[in-house]
Every structure is written in C-alpha cells, then in structure tokens.
Amino acid sequence: VGHTEGCGMQFMFSVARPEWACRCCSPDGGEDGGPASAVWDVYNARTERPKVFVDVPTAPPVPHASKGLPVAEGDRPDWLIKEDELVVDERDPPGSGGILIIQAVLSDARADWGKSSGMRPHWLRAILTTNRAHARRHGHAMILRAQPSQPQLTRWQWRNCGMKHMEKCLKDNERENFNWEKHLMIKEYVLSPQNFTHILMLDADAAFVNREHDTLRQIASILEAKGKDIFLTDEDWLEHGEGRINGGLMFAKSTDFTKGLFQDTFDAHLAGSAMLKNWRIGVDEMECSSNEQICLNDLWQGKGKLWFEPHAMMASGLIYNRGAERGGEKHIDSPSVEVMHWMGGSKANAGVALCNGPRDFTGDGPNGYGCRLK
C-alpha cells in the first residue's frame, strides 16, 4: 500500500471474507469517508512511504517485429500509431472515416504466434490473409500491432515481482498484458484524427468466414438500430458459457462513451488494486487488476452495470464469435456464422480449415501467403 502511488497509508481488509483481498484508501483522506461496515476493517500501513516511486523497467524492443506478416507495400501511412503496420486500406473515400480492423500479433515466450526471424505459422498466415480479403472486399482498413507497448509491466506488477528479475516478471504477466494491449489499441485509434466511424478489435486467431456478408457494416447497423455504442459477444457456444463476454471481439462505434470507456479500462488496469476513481463513463471506482475479459464482465453484470449496460450489447457468439474447438469448426461454412475463433489448442487447425476446407477463404490460392506450406 505504502509503495502504491495512488494509495494512502490506510487499507481495508475483511477478516471474515479474506477472498475479497485488500482495498487501499485514497491518499486524500479516503480512510475517513464512505459508509460504516461490520465486515470491513481499516488498517494503517506500517511501511515507510517512499519519497520517489520506482520507475517500471522497459523491455528491449522485439527486433524486426513485423517480419513475416502481410504488411502492405509502399509508404507507411503517417496516421499509424507507434510501430503498427498497415495490411490494407480500401476505405472509400480514402484517408478519413470508415471502419478499422485491428489485430495484435504479439510474439509470446512460447512462440505460439511464430518468431519474427522466420515464417509465421500456417494457421496465423491463413487467418490474417482471410481477414485481409474480407477488408478488401468490403472497403475497410486493417492494421497489425507486432511490437508491444512499453513499459509492458504496470507499477503494481513490478512491485509484486519484488522489483527484480524483469524477464521473469514480463513472462509471468505476459498473457494478461498482451490482452490489455487490445484495450490500449482501441483507446489510441478511437481518438485518432482519422475519425474512424467504428473500430473492430479482433483476436489474431479469429477470422471472417462469411465472405459474401459485410459483417462489420451489418454489426454497425445493429448498433444503430438498438442505440448502442459497443458490440460484444457471448460465450454461448460453450457449455455453461452463456451470459459471459468473450473479449476476442470488440466492435466500438466512435462516440464519447467509447472514447471514455477504453481510456477508463486501461487506466484501471494501470491502477490495479488502488482502483481507478471517477471513471469518465460515470463509475465511481472499480478494480481491473486481472485480465481484460473479467473487467468487461464486471462492467456488464457487476459494479459498472448501471453505466455500461445502457451503451453495450452482447450478441450470440454462435454467430459472431464461434469457437472452433469442441466441434465448432464444422460450422465454418454455415450461412449463419460470421466469425470463427480458433482459441487455445484449436489454432493449429485453422490453416487447413481456411485453405483446404469447403472453399479457399483466403482468396489467394494454394501458393499464396496464407496457404503455402513452405
């Protein structure tokens, strides 16, 4: 607590409900505010508060991060953020507005997404090529992020690692931080002077599989008809998954609400257990110190529901984010399925399904970037 910049020197803890963990009080007298509770007790931290807070270390950049990815030829557009790369831009008119597809391809410690020094995995190339074909056909822009933002670690993660062994700390927090990069990217591009009308964040192991449908304009029309700002999908394709958001597809209309929302969620991630106070969207305080999917579900059905639900909708994952595992892949050619998602161990099957299934979803043929084996 004493080493958390957003905390005072007091914290709450419930002996009766230890699974609730600690909650620090704000440094502006927060220990004296709020209603009385028979369950929570307030404690004083005995540690000495540092005069200067330790900076989080920055990891070295991934060399040639975009190598092996389907980056567009020609000059790199100046509207791209950080080291992001353009795959295709078929907006009409070009240069402003339209729909942006974002996919993060961040090389993890296990090299699931391939190594930037060599050819990317067949499944990844097939998925990215399929999505490129969809963007071309329906007039969208598509970009990739292969270089993670720095610092990857938050201050509270670095403290939890004892402020040592950076490489191990990065690896221990890699999965969650790479998922939080998705919220950061939406935040950055929804504020872009390109004035995109809508932004889709799609996991890089998910692909559009209904070639004839302009899936994203279809979703935009649904949002408009329902008066909503953000489109999310249900895990109803999983047994006991119904009612739970899957964070692999987030479609945001560019509005004041979504601009505030993704600044809030990422700031809440940075704050950790100190909890972000006074969210731009109206939440008084809420913690997002675990993964981003839990944060979204807490907004949807938990503490943030009052402010989030009026602006959000959750559609069936059976249509818009169909998991490929447990027999889901057999629905790849169903006219009702718009997006197929090869999560976890099902990834390896995506290349065969998209290149050698009922049709070539990539549009590039057997010797194209997406389907060739060597």
Q: How far apart are CA 127 and CA 363, in angstroms?
A: 11
Phi/psi at 226 (nearest 5 deg)? -95, -5
Using CB atoms within 10 A of its CB, is residue 241 exposed (0-12), middle (13-18) or buried (19+)?
middle
* Overall residue count recorded for the chain in this entry: 374
Q: Exposed, middle or buried: residue 9 (CB in 10 Å: 0-12, 13-18, 19+)?
A: middle
- With CA atoms as reference, report the closest residue to 288 among 303, 308, 309: 303
Distance CA 282, CA 305 (A): 11
Other Cβ atoms less than 10 A from the Cβ of 140: the count is 25
| Burial of 240 from C-beta contacts in 10 A (0-12 / 13-18 / 19+) | exposed
Q: Does an H or E element contain 361, and which?
A: none
Rounded distance between C-alpha atoms, residue 107 and residue 147, angstroms:
8
Q: How far apart are CA 153 and CA 159, in angstroms?
A: 10
Output the pTM of the full model.
Answer: 0.86
Cα 106 from Cα 247, distance rounded (Å): 16
Among candidate residues 289, 258, 250, the one with its CA nearest the CA of residue 188? 258
Residue 333 sits at the vertex; the CA angle it makes with 331 and 338, to the nearest 5 degrees, is 80
Q: Which residues, including other chains, have CB under 8 Å from residue 370's CB and lie 6 or more apart?
A: 125, 126, 127, 128, 129, 130, 351, 354, 355, 362, 364
Nearest residue to 295 (alpha-carbon basis) of 245, 260, 343, 228:
245
Sequential pLDDT tens for the chain (374 residues): 665 666 778 888 888 887 777 777 877 777 777 778 888 889 888 766 666 566 899 998 888 899 999 999 999 999 999 999 999 999 998 888 999 999 999 987 666 776 655 789 999 999 999 999 999 999 999 999 999 999 999 999 999 999 999 999 999 999 999 999 999 999 999 999 999 999 999 999 999 999 999 999 999 999 999 999 999 999 999 989 999 999 999 999 999 999 999 999 999 999 999 999 999 999 999 999 889 999 999 999 999 999 999 999 999 999 999 999 988 999 999 999 999 999 989 999 999 999 998 789 999 999 999 999 87
Separation CA 307–CA 320 (nearest Å):
24
> Coil, strand or helix: which one is 250?
strand
Residues 39-65 as b or e (16 or more Cβ within 10 Å = b): ebeeeebeeeeeeeeeebbeeeebeeb
Please enumerate in sequence order all residues whose Cβ is within 8 A of that of 198, keeping only pairs 6 or more positions apart, or say none. Answer: 99, 100, 216, 220, 251, 252, 253, 254
**Both tokens assigned to 240:** 């006991």
Which residues, in sequence order, are bridge partners of residue 13?
41
